[in-house]
A and B are shown apart, each in its own frame.
Chain A
Amino acid sequence: MAKPMQVARYWRHFKEKYRLIGGKCENGHVFFPRRSVCPVCGSRSVEDFQFSGKGRVISWTIVRNPPSGFEYYKPFPLALVELEEGPVVLAQLTDVDPEEITSGMEVEMVTRKIREFGEDGIILYAYKFRPPVK
């Protein structure tokens, strides 16, 4: 299994990857991930914005031949999720039978393991989405 990169490469993204915090500009445009310049209006006045984590699947696939490093996890479902606040995020789906995935299905964000790098490597976690637990 491949070696991870320097840990800093991963922890600098914890806020968005663990908590789904994106950006909001002074004119009220929200986006994910946060960036310095609002992609809608160009404003440079941007602050953190906490997304609810609720959304719906707008398209999905099953990754059967993943990039190296992800072989152990195949096949896994990957989807474009439209958050209720508007922005779309790409993420894996979890806790769902692939047969049950449909476009339009409601999902909620959970924090899950993305991958490991062998016994002495770090473990990467991030948002995934699952059907809401009632």
Chain B
Amino acid sequence: MERPVIIGVGMTPVGEHWRLSLRELAVEAILNAMDDAGVDRVDSLYVGNMISGSFVEQENLGALIADWAGLGNIPAVKIEAACASGGAALQEGAKAVMSGLEDVVAVVGVEKMTDAWPSDATRYLAYAADAEYEHFHGASFVALNALIMRYYMQRYGYTEEDLALFAVNAHANGAKNPYAMFKRAITVDTVMRSPYIADPIKLFDASPVCDGAAAAIITTKEKAKELGVPKEKWIEVAGFSRAIDTINLANREDLLTLKAAKVASERAYKMAGISVKDIDLFEVHDAFTVMAALSLEAIGVAEKGKGAMLAKEGQIAIDADYPIQTMGGLKSRGHPVGATGMYQTVEAVLQLRGEAPDGIQVPDAETALTQNIGGTGSNITITILRRV
């Protein structure tokens, strides 16, 4: 089956957008993407969003955003998969194009988190966990990931300093990304001196609460040609898949295997006809430093238990073998939850087009992987993007 292509991308900077509402953020990203693609209409809209009903008391985002973006009476729906909503929305958009039912599709990921009080934001994020057996007991999302981090350190003998290297790498790259929330480099010491939120997770192991929106326009190769989009701008959605795992962390067969990522990445590699060795850069879901390590293991970049070694050995930098978080990742670019998967998409597209900012362009990047995690690994999307 012919793979669709992304012909335009757009985004807002990630940050605390006190002057902008959810709808304004989403509209800005969509219009930027439409301008980038050179289209003035789309057949449908897919909105990736985790939890606008709680954060800004607004659901029915399909109608809201398509209306305010001036897209007319098109089909438009919200896709929800916790923090993986953006990645899931992209895949639904790609499927719609592949089905032949919709020619030109817009996908936007958006989240407006800073209108809520911080402890309420913590509560809403915990809704992605098991309400009855996790959140009921006072578990925050950070706390659940802290249980994973301690277990990982115990099992393989890593230290907090070892895992801090993922945050250091993310910030080194994010410092050069004008759209990143935290545009400054940090050291292991910065991480170690930051306060514990849920031991052993410190503030600098964790991604921030923030606002943002990112969008892409997807179409068929035939339509891209008809629209006159230059071929250098075509980025193929070469393979994609997603999978679930137990929603309750305690019910996992193995706490340290992101099985959903393993299953989904194997299927995505097969669909793209590649192996992990063919991938030039990885945007993985480093909501917490330990998640970067587990993700690299699950998608086959590292052996089990060796994910953190890649950071220790300097293999994840822009000019190394396995560049990750090339624009700052969730840690430095920011993690506006339902938008994150679309930020990863936009960033991967810019890398593949050779349009990444100076200092963080991966040389001659042909193929990129994005991995977007919802819950503590309970819903994971994998998408392979490739230059045409």
Task: Given the known inter-chain contacts A67-B122, A80-B249, A88-B251, please indicate yes or no for A126 contacting B150, CB distance below 8 A.
Answer: no
Q: Is A28 on the interface with B (CB-CB < 8 A)?
A: no
Using a Cβ–Cβ cut-off of 8 Å, how many residues does chain B contribute to the interface with A? Answer: 38
Q: Choose among B135, B147, B248 the residue that contacts A59 (Cβ–Cβ < 8 A).
A: B147
Residue from B118, B135, B137, B148 whose CB has the most chain A CB atoms within 10 Å: B137
Q: Mark A97-127 against chain B: 1 for CB-CB distance below 8 A, else 0.
A: 0000001000000000011000000001010
**CB-CB < 8 A to A91: which residues of B?**
137
Q: Choose among A31, A39, A58, A115 the residue that contacts B138 (Cβ–Cβ < 8 A).
A: A115
Residue from B140, B144, B154 whose CB has the most chain A CB atoms within 10 Å: B140
B147 & A88 in contact (Cβ 8 Å cutoff): no
Task: Given the known inter-chain contacts A62-B199, A63-B143, please indicate yes or no for A78 contacting B120, CB distance below 8 A.
Answer: no
Q: Could you tell me the distance between the alpha carbons of A27 and B201 in the complex, rounded to whole angstroms? A: 40
**CB-CB < 8 A to B138: which residues of A?**
63, 66-67, 70, 73, 76, 78, 92, 114-115
Q: Could you tell me the distance between the alpha carbons of A13 and B131 in the complex, rounded to whole angstroms? A: 12
Q: Is B133 on the interface with A (CB-CB < 8 A)?
A: yes
Q: Is B196 on the interface with A (CB-CB < 8 A)?
A: yes
Task: Given the known inter-chain contacts A59-B151, A88-B250, please indicate yes or no for A71 contacting B140, CB distance below 8 A.
Answer: no
Q: Is B134 on the interface with A (CB-CB < 8 A)?
A: yes
Q: Is B99 on the interface with A (CB-CB < 8 A)?
A: no
Considering the complex, which residues of chain B in the window 181-199 have a beta carbon less than 8 Å from any beta carbon of chain A?
A: 195-199
Considering the complex, which residues of chain A in the window 61-96 have a beta carbon less than 8 Å from any beta carbon of chain B?
A: 61-71, 73, 76, 78-80, 87-92
Interface residues of A, dominant DSSP? strand
Size category, A interface? 20 to 34
Q: Choose among B119, B196, B246, B249 the residue that contacts A62 (Cβ–Cβ < 8 A).
A: B196
A61 & B255 in contact (Cβ 8 Å cutoff): no
Give, as a whole number of angstroms, the nearest-CB distance from B249 to chain A. 7
A78 & B143 in contact (Cβ 8 Å cutoff): yes
Q: Is B18 on the interface with A (CB-CB < 8 A)?
A: no
B126 & A67 in contact (Cβ 8 Å cutoff): yes
Q: Could you tell me the distance between the alpha carbons of A47 and B178 in the complex, rounded to whole angstroms? A: 58
**CB-CB < 8 A to B197: which residues of A?**
64-65
Q: Is B39 on the interface with A (CB-CB < 8 A)?
A: no
Q: Could you tell me the distance between the alpha carbons of A79 and B132 in the complex, rounded to whole angstroms? A: 16
A68 & B250 in contact (Cβ 8 Å cutoff): no
Closest 7 CB pairs of A and B: A67-B123, A61-B146, A68-B119, A59-B151, A70-B138, A88-B250, A59-B147
Q: Which residues of B contact A (CB under 8 A)?
A: 117-120, 122-123, 126, 132-140, 142-144, 146-148, 150-151, 154, 195-201, 246, 248-251, 255
Q: List 7 A-B contacts (CB under 8 A).
A: A59-B148, A61-B150, A61-B200, A66-B138, A68-B120, A79-B147, A80-B151
